[in-house]
Amino acid sequence: MRTGLRYRVMSYGPLGMAVLAAANVTESLEVLGAFQALTFSLMHYSVELENGEAIALVANDDDAPDDLIEFQQERALGSVTVFLNDLQPPRFPLARIESSLKRPRNWESCEDILGAQVEFGAEQTRWVFRPGAGNLLLPMASPLLEQTYTDLCSKLVQAGTDQDEFVRKVTDRLVRSGRGFPSAIEVADQIGVSERTLHRKLKAQGTSFKELIEGIRRNRATELLNKSTLPIERIAEMLGYAETASFSRAFKRWEGCSPLKFRQRE
C-alpha cells in the first residue's frame, strides 16, 4: 500500500497529462480507461456511471496472475487513492473505499493514511465518490492539451504492438517519463539487465537508446506544436532540453525547419 502512495499522476507520462487535461473527473477517468495499456497495473479499471456521471472507480483483478493479486490489490489502495487526490488536490471527495482483501479494519492504519473509510471483505474493490464528485472540474483542464496527449497515447499503444518485446520494454520506460528521460543505466536497472546488455540487444534490433529517445521527442514535439499553444520554450523544457536552442537544432534536423516555422506551416 505504501508503495502505491508513490505513484503520482505525472509518473504516468503522456497518459497522466491526458488525464489532467480532461474537463472533469468523469472524463478524466474515461481517458484512463481507454489507455490502460500505459498504466503500471495488471488489474482492469472501469468507471461506474449514474446518469452519465462517475460515482465510483472499480478495480477488477481477474486477469492478474494469482500470485500477484494480493500485491496488486494492496498497491492499488495507495496508488488509486493518490491518483484521485491528484485530480482534486489536496483530497478527492471519497465516500469510502471498498476492498476485496480480507484485512482487519485497522490494518496498517490505512484509514489514517488514505484519509477515507476502508471496508475490507467486499465483493469487489471500489472507490466510491461523494455526490457530485464526477462533475468536478479539473484545475488543468484544456481541450487542446487533452486532444494532443490522447493522440499521443493512441500512437504509443499502437507502437507497443509493433515492436520487439525488449524494445517495447525500453520504450515503455522512456514514454512514462513526464519530463526529461532516465539514463540508459537507469532503464537497464529497471528492466533487470546490465547497461551493456541493453545496448547490445537494442543494436540487434536495428536501433539504439539514443534513437528511441529521439523518436519519442520528435513525436511529442510535433504533437505539441500542432495541437497546443504552449510556448516553444515550454515545449523544450517538457522534452528535457536544458536550452531552447538545443531543441531548435534537434527539431530542424528532424523536420528541416525550426519549431516556429513548423507551427506556422501546420
Segments making up each domain of the chain, as ranges: 4-135, 163-265
Task: Choose between 166 and 119: higher pLDDT.
Answer: 119
φ/ψ region of 187 (left if φ > 0, alpha if ψ in -120 to 50, else beta) reads alpha
Q: Closest Cα partner for 245 from 256, 259, 255, 266?
A: 259
Q: What is the mean pLDDT of the chain?
A: 89
3-state secondary structure of 83: helix
d(CA 19, CA 14): 9
Q: What b-and-e string marks burial along 24-53, b requiring 16 or more CB atoms within 10 Å of the CB?
A: bbbbbbebbeebeebbebebebbbbeeeeb
Band of pLDDT at residue 82, cut at 50, 70 and 90 = very high
Q: Which amino acid is at 159?
A: A
Question: Is residue 162 pLDDT above 60, yes or no?
Answer: no
- Decide if 82 contacts 4 (C-beta within 8 A): yes
Task: Kindly report the pTM of this predicted structure.
Answer: 0.65
What's the confidence (pLDDT) of residue 6?
93
- Decide if 14 contacts 149 (C-beta within 8 A): yes
CATH of 163-265, one of 1.10.10.60, 3.40.50.410, 3.20.20.140, 3.40.50.1400: 1.10.10.60
3-state secondary structure of 121: coil
Question: Is residue 146 pLDDT above 80, yes or no?
Answer: yes
- Decide if 63 contacts 44 (C-beta within 8 A): yes
Q: Closest Cα partner for 29 from 11, 8, 53?
A: 53
